[in-house]
Chains A and B, each alone.
Chain A
């Protein structure tokens, strides 16, 4: 390889401006070619870097600590009760709603579209209401007794006050 190219690359190399490819060229040159005397002083670095690449870590069998499993399980534990609580909450809300989809009680609401039956049903409903109302009003007759009693009391009251003023 041309020494001038190598010299230029070395210049760039010491400025930190060589690309990885250019550095590979330098490494190849100093490791494989017959280096002239004037470049000999640069050789040892590149030979050293090449050798360093080949160093291996000869201790492949390692045991991973079991500690992490516990750590992991703990992490998993947090969301399970949380999820259970949320599910329980949702179920209970649905169950206790006024319109419970799980209950089999018949709804009080009837939908009618036919005008004739609408009339009849309305009539019946109003009749039922008035009958019940009358039933309720019938009990009010007893209030008359109360009124009579009250009148009698009033009379006594007036008599008493007359006597006192005399």
Chain B
């Protein structure tokens, strides 16, 4: 009896197809989760969870549907949920600003340090803006695609993107001025 049922289940073919679809997306999912959760370990867990979740919903993913947008959307939902339940806010931003006298100006000039500051600044943005900034400026996605992932109107995406970019600029300027004043 079981043999008959096994005949109807094509696991290996489906499995291979799914893996071949999901592997190219993993980096993108990881970067997105990392940006939202601000933590590498949590981001890795998130990718694992999302891959499993997608696998369980695999029958819903047909070739016509955009698996990338769907996967990103699932990742976004997962991360937002995680952020809601997370009580301790990671990455304290105040520590790195030049109001601290312990900062060494020579190190500040190093590009690496500067990039870390950009990262810290982005981490202070609201989750929605962080997600949109990541999808656009890092992943280079179309506005319509971002709108689909974020379940927002394209115009709303644009407004949030502009707001996020401006905030990054303002905070960078504040940082540079603070450093120069110091």
A residues contacting B by CB (< 8 A) are: 13-17, 20, 23-24, 41-42, 44-45, 47-49, 51-53, 55-57, 59-60, 62, 64-65, 67-69, 71-73, 76-77, 80
Contact = CB atoms under 8 A, between A and B. Distances in A.
Given A57-B44, A68-B56, A76 B138 contact: no
A47 B162 contact: no
| Size class of the contact patch on chain B | 35 or more
Contacts of A20: 140, 142
Interface of B: 4-6, 8-9, 11, 15, 18-19, 23, 26-27, 29-31, 34-35, 44, 47-48, 51-52, 55-56, 58-59, 111, 114-115, 117-119, 134, 136-140, 142, 158-159, 161-162, 165-166, 168-169, 172-173, 176
Given A44-B118, A57-B30, A60-B23, A77 B5 contact: yes
Contacts of A13: 165
**What 8 pairs between A and B have smallest CB-CB spacing?**
A57-B30, A16-B162, A48-B118, A16-B161, A16-B158, A44-B114, A52-B138, A57-B26
Contacts of B172: 41, 44-45
Contacts of B31: 52-53, 55, 57
Q: Point out which of B4, B15, B31, B137 has the most chain A C-beta atoms below 10 A from its C-beta.
A: B137
Nearest to B114: A44
A73 B9 contact: yes
Contact of A65 (B29, B55, B119, B158): B55
A16 B159 contact: yes
Q: Point out which of B19, B134, B165 has the most chain A C-beta atoms below 10 A from its C-beta.
A: B165
A72 B9 contact: yes
A152 B144 CA distance: 111
Contacts of A17: 158, 162
Contacts of B161: 16
Contact of B119 (A48, A60, A67): A48
Contacts of B18: 64
Given A23-B137, A62-B51, 11 more contacts: A17-B162, A24-B140, A44-B118, A47-B114, A55-B30, A59-B48, A60-B23, A60-B26, A62-B48, A68-B56, A73-B9
A52 B34 CA distance: 10
A116 B181 CA distance: 129
Contacts of A69: 9, 11
Q: Point out which of A13, A57, A68, A71 has the most chain B C-beta atoms below 10 A from its C-beta.
A: A57
10 contacts: A14-B165, A14-B169, A17-B162, A23-B140, A45-B137, A47-B115, A48-B118, A56-B27, A64-B18, A73-B5
